[in-house]
């Protein structure tokens, strides 16, 4: 940094072309500054490169997979048995494994998560909310391998099997994974929906109270519908998390790909299959190796759609009250 304390310093006397030149931007003036900006720009591109790499590798290996397995089989075959002869590569059993867990975890988490959101936004004293909300959000920070342990050893072995009978509940079942998954995504639903409900303008609430509505009526007839966009977005984010969650289903749900929504069946999800292959050491170029990318691409498309839809809805919803 150049110091020129006196106001009547030489640079202040410049006029005309000289002044213009002195004031022009130039590399040589601040090389350090330019270097910094360049390196920050490089940092900024890393996230873009990541996306490009994800898409490229998924596309490349998926293409290799479809060189061996016809796309028609992948979509229309109803069996997924890569390890048997003759091998079948119909993706539906894996998709249904994911849908099975998704469905049952949503059945459990939706009412509880929305109830928590309504309680925090409309009923709880501000101090209660200040404590309770972070506690609830902490549930989302528990490592999923811990939830996986809970699902297999506690929920299945200590709760479900004694409760429903050893012969009705196989050791690996979709229900235990769904229950634990529900606990895991509940904070996502509760927290994001609560944000949406808190953003509903106070005037709407007052309008309803002014007409003699009770707290319950204000919550369900005014706040809930007004926050519906944000609530849907919260649910979509939770859906994306369930679809992409790996450890819980890999440990507790089993490894039997089948088309069923029965929660007491052993199922294999898309992520569960990918992890099972990842545990081994399959060489590049084998169908085993490329199949995880094909399944991964399917998974990526599902979660991508859910995330994009959630983002669009959140954005739309923000504009509504601004």
Partner 1 sequence: MSNSVDLRPASTGQRAAEGTLERPMAQAQPGAIVEPEGEIAITIENLSLWYGPKQALTNVSMKIPARKVTALIGPSGCGKSTLLRCINRMNDLIPTVRIQGSLYYHGVNLYGPDIDPVEVRRRIGMVFQKPNPFPKSIYDNVAFGARVNGFKGNLDQLVEQSLRRAALWEEVKDNLKKSGLALSGGQQQRLCIARAIANQPDVILMDEPCSALDPIATLKIEDLMRELVKDYTIIIVTHNMQQAARVSDYTAFMLTDEQVTGQLVEYGPTEELFTTPKDRRTEDYISGRFG
Partner 2 sequence: MSAASETGTPFTLKATGHVARRQRLSRMSRWVLFSATMLAVFVLVYLMQDVVRLGWERLSWDFLTSYPSRRPLDAGLRSSLLGWLWLMGAVIVMAVPLAIGSALFIEEFAPRNWFTELVRLNISNLAGVPSIIYGILGLAVFVRGFDLWGITLFPSLGPTILAGALTLTLMILPMTIIASVEAIRQVPPSIRDGSLALGATQWQTVWHHILPGAIPGIMTGVILAIARAAGETAALIMIGAFAFIAFDNTSLMQSFTTVPIQIYNWTTLPQEGFRVNAAAGIIVLMTLVVGLNLIAVVIREKFRRSW
Write out the residues near partner 1 by the rule CB under 8 A.
125-126, 201, 203-214, 217, 221-222, 225-226, 320
- Taking the least distance from each CB to partner 2, the nearer of 264 and 309 is 309
* Binding map of partner 2 across residues 5-44, x = CB under 8 A, - = no contact: -------------------------x-xx--xx-xxxxxx
Cα distances (angstroms) measured from residue 308 to each of 71, 129, 296, 303, 318: 26, 30, 18, 8, 15
Q: Is 292 in contact with 70 (CB distance < 8 Å)?
A: no
Cβ neighbours of residue 278 closer than 8 Å, sequence gap 6 or more? 292
**Interaction between residue 307 and partner 2 (CB under 8 A):** yes
- Taking the least distance from each CB to partner 1, the nearer of 262 and 320 is 320
Choose the one of partner 1, partner 2, none that binds residue 66, judging by a C-beta under 5 to 8 angstroms depending on kind: none
Least Cβ distance, residue 238 to partner 1 (angstroms)? 24
- Residues numbered 86-115 forming contacts with partner 2, rule: CB under 8 A: 111-112, 115
Which helix (H) or strand (E) covers residue 80, if one does? strand 80-81
**Interaction between residue 69 and partner 2 (CB under 8 A):** no
In the list 275, 291, 298, 317, the residue contacting partner 2 (rule: CB under 8 A) is 275
State the Cα–Cα distance between residues 15 and 37, nearest whole angstrom.
Answer: 31
Distance of CA 109 to the CA centre of its chain: 15
Stretch that binds partner 2, among 16-24, 67-75, 221-229, 241-249 (CB under 8 A): 241-249
- Residues numbered 154-213 forming contacts with partner 2, rule: CB under 8 A: 154, 158, 183, 186-187, 190, 212
Q: Is 229 in contact with 320 (CB distance < 8 Å)?
A: yes
Judged on CB neighbours under 10 Å (0-12, 13-18, 19+), 88 is middle
Cβ neighbours of residue 132 closer than 8 Å, sequence gap 6 or more? 120, 124
**Interaction between residue 294 and partner 2 (CB under 8 A):** no
Least Cβ distance, residue 35 to partner 2 (angstroms)? 10
């Amino acid at each position: 940094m150049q110091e020129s304390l006196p106001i009547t310093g030489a640079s202040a006397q410049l006029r005309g072309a000289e002044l213009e030149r002195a004031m022009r931007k130039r590399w040589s003036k601040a090389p350090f500054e330019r270097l910094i900006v360049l390196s920050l720009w490089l940092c900024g591109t890393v996230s873009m490169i990541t996306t490009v790499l994800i898409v490229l590798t998924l596309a490349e290996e998926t293409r290799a997979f479809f060189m061996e397995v016809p796309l028609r089989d992948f979509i229309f075959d109803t069996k997924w048995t890569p390890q048997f002869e003759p091998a079948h590569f119909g993706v539906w059993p894996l998709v249904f494994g994911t849908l099975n867990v998704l469905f049952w975890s949503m059945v459990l988490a939706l009412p509880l998560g929305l109830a928590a959101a309504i309680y925090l936004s409309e009923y709880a004293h501000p101090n209660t909310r200040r404590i309770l909300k972070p506690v609830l959000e902490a549930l989302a920070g528990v490592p999923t391998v811990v939830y996986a342990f809970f699902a297999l050893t506690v929920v299945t072995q200590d709760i479900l099997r004694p409760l429903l009978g050893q012969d009705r509940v196989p050791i690996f079942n979709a229900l235990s994974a769904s229950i634990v998954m529900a606990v895991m995504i509940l904070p996502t639903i509760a927290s994001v929906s609560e944000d949406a409900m808190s953003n509903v303008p106070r005037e709407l609430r007052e309008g309803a109270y002014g007409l003699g509505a009770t707290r319950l009526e204000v919550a369900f007839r005014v706040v809930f519908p007004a926050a519906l966009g944000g609530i849907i977005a919260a649910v979509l984010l939770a859906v994306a998390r369930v679809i992409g969650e790996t450890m819980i289903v890999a440990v507790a749900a089993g490894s039997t790909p089948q088309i069923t929504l029965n929660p007491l069946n052993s199922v294999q999800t898309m992520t569960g299959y990918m992890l099972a292959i990842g545990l081994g050491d399959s060489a590049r170029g084998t169908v085993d190796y490329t199949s995880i990318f094909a399944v991964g691409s399917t998974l990526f498309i599902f979660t991508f759609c859910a995330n994009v839809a959630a983002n669009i809805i959140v954005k739309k919803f923000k504009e509504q009250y601004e």
